[in-house]
Amino acid sequence: MYEYISGKISELTPTYAVVEANSVGYMVHITLNSYSALEGKAEAKLFIEEIIREDAFILYGFSDVSERVLFRQLMSVSGVGANTASVILSSFSVPELQQVIANGDVNAIKKVKGIGLKTAQRLIIDLKDKVVPSAAGGTIPFANPRNEDRSEAIAALSMLGYTAADAAALVDKVLAAQPDLPLNKLVKEALRLNK
């Protein structure tokens, strides 16, 4: 599985980028948010999600980890595939979508092309507990490396069976005491707290 592709931007459109790495051009589907982040740049680092089907091998790329995390969460919802998840992420920034889900704003999600009432409702029901609130009551904007580490740590704990809320509480407690911990130690300390 690819984690990221880094290299020269050979072609950039609002829906895909071709990134050349080691003399190989990778066509990577992107969201409008990632397009905006890459526009005017000569090089890119895109965090990758591979979608393997019987008839295709498709790469989706994101300019930051938090967008990929949300992409994966969207695809976990029944009836939301990779293309729909990409369209949703092109319609909202990560913090906006987190806020919409946290607020249960079905009408905002229904405005996205191809999303009906039932899918919008299911998306909110399935993801409301996975959108992690910050201590201030908003959502985490994932704009800096600390927030990316926080997001990854919460995702790691979630994969180990913790609810998003419990994982967030543990990670926030560790970060409050030791804000400069690297990701691996952050996860270990959070696990120790729960013993």
β-bridge mates for residue 20, sequence order? 8, 25
Instruction: Kindly state whether residues 51 and 77 are assigned to the same domain.
Output: no
pTM of the model: 0.69
One digit per residue, pLDDT tens: the chain, 195 residues?
788 999 999 999 999 999 999 999 999 999 999 999 999 999 999 999 999 888 989 999 999 888 998 899 899 898 899 999 999 999 998 888 988 998 889 999 998 888 899 999 999 998 887 775 443 344 443 334 455 677 778 777 777 777 777 777 888 888 888 888 888 888 888 888 765
User: Strand runs (DSSP E) across 22-164, as ranges?
Assistant: 24-30, 43-52, 57-62
Helical H segments across 93-182, by residue range? 94-103, 106-110, 117-127, 145-159, 164-177
Which pLDDT belongs to residue 157? Answer: 77
In a domain, 56, yes or no: yes
Which pLDDT belongs to residue 86? Answer: 92
Which pLDDT belongs to residue 43? Answer: 95
Q: Alpha-carbon distance 74 to 89, whole Å?
A: 9
Instruction: Kindly state whether residues 49 and 15 are assigned to the same domain.
Output: yes
Interacting residues of 136 by C-beta distance below 8 A, sequence separation 6+: none
In a domain, 115, yes or no: yes
Q: Alpha-carbon distance 86 to 67, whole Å?
A: 10
Say which CATH number the domain at 16 has: 2.40.50.140
162 touches 156 (CB < 8 A): no
Q: Alpha-carbon distance 192 to 171, whole Å?
A: 11
Instruction: Kindly state whether residues 52 and 77 are assigned to the same domain.
Output: no
Instruction: Kindly state whether residues 8 and 40 are assigned to the same domain.
Output: yes
Interacting residues of 41 by C-beta distance below 8 A, sequence separation 6+: 9
Report helix angle 145-159 to 65-75, nearest 10. Answer: 30
Which pLDDT belongs to residue 144? Answer: 41
Instruction: Kindly state whether residues 28 and 46 are assigned to the same domain.
Output: yes
Instruction: Kindly state whether residues 75 and 56 are assigned to the same domain.
Output: no
In a domain, 133, yes or no: no
In a domain, 138, yes or no: no
Instruction: Kindly state whether residues 76 and 121 are assigned to the same domain.
Output: yes
Q: Which residue has the tokens 């201030």?
A: 136
In a domain, 43, yes or no: yes
In a domain, 27, yes or no: yes
In a domain, 121, yes or no: yes
Instruction: Kindly state whether residues 72 and 122 are assigned to the same domain.
Output: yes
Range of the domain at 28: 4-62
Which pLDDT belongs to residue 187? Answer: 84
Here the tokens at position 136 are 């201030």
Q: Alpha-carbon distance 69 to 26, whole Å?
A: 21
Which pLDDT belongs to residue 143? Answer: 37
Number of structural domains, the chain? 3
Instruction: Kindly state whether residues 71 and 50 are assigned to the same domain.
Output: no
Instruction: Kindly state whether residues 57 and 70 are assigned to the same domain.
Output: no
Instruction: Kindly state whether residues 71 and 119 are assigned to the same domain.
Output: yes
Instruction: Kindly state whether residues 74 and 50 are assigned to the same domain.
Output: no
In a domain, 136, yes or no: no
